[in-house]
Amino acid sequence: MRKLKVIGINGSARKDGNTAILIKTVFEELEKEGIETELVQLCDKEIKGCMGCFGCGQKKQCIIKDDFFDECFNKMVNADGIILGSPVYSADISSKMKAFLERAGVIVATNPGMLKHKVGTSVVAVRRGGGMTAVDTLNHFLLNKEVFLVGSTYWNMVYGKNIGDVTRDEEGMENMRNLGQNIAWLMKKIDNV
């Protein structure tokens, strides 16, 4: 059996903050099942917005070369599973995550199938409102790119403001652990087919 890998992309401006805690909690369950994980944190990386030029169409890569996008995108394309994570900023995902998804979305739209049949999910750290909007934004990207979306027992959001607060949301954290178990189960089923 080949080694399966999941990449977690953390769109938070805070390194190792609440969103990273959520992704790492899912990772713990994946690692118990022998699935390799890698966390990519966008907080200290430059991700420019999409220029809408469609120059990526034939090249399967963005024409902007002076930021972190290509490296992160290639990790996502080469992984078997994808976790997109963001805190809620202004009732939606972070600007870096939005810029990343816009650019990735254009490449995949002009080159259908690049993410087809990967397993994916989204996780969101939320203080009060906007959680469902953020989850929807991330899930819409995955669904539109032919990724098999994995859910859990409730919406994939956990409440907390300060770093570490999410760990006190017992229901939310249990949802993250169950999410990791569900991802592992589906990835192994797909791999054995």
Residue 126: φ, ψ to 5°: -135, 140
- The β-bridge partners of 10 are 41, 85
Q: Place 93 in a pLDDT band, splitting at 50, 70 and 90.
A: very high
pLDDT in tens, 140-189: 999 999 999 999 999 999 999 999 999 999 999 999 999 999 999 999 99
Q: Where are the beta strands (DSSP E) in the chain?
A: 5-10, 36-41, 81-87, 119-126, 148-149, 157-159
Q: Would you kindly state where each structural domain of the chain is located, as residue ranges?
A: 5-192
The reported pLDDT for the residue numbered 56 is: 85
Instruction: Give the Å distances, CA to CA, from 128 to 35, 54, 89, 91.
Output: 33, 37, 11, 9
In order, the DSSP letters of 105-148 are HHHHHHSTTSSTT-EEEEEEEESSS-HHHHHHHHHHHHHHTT-E
User: pLDDT higher for 2 or 141?
Assistant: 141
Asked if residue 60 has pLDDT above 90, the reply is no
**Protein fold of 5-192:** Rossmann fold (3.40.50)
Q: Place 25 in a pLDDT band, splitting at 50, 70 and 90.
A: very high
Residue 46: φ, ψ to 5°: -90, 130
DSSP 8-state symbol, 66 = S
Mean pLDDT of the chain: 95
List the single range of 9-13, 41-45, 61-65, 90-94 with lowest mean pLDDT: 61-65
Residue 36: φ, ψ to 5°: -75, 145
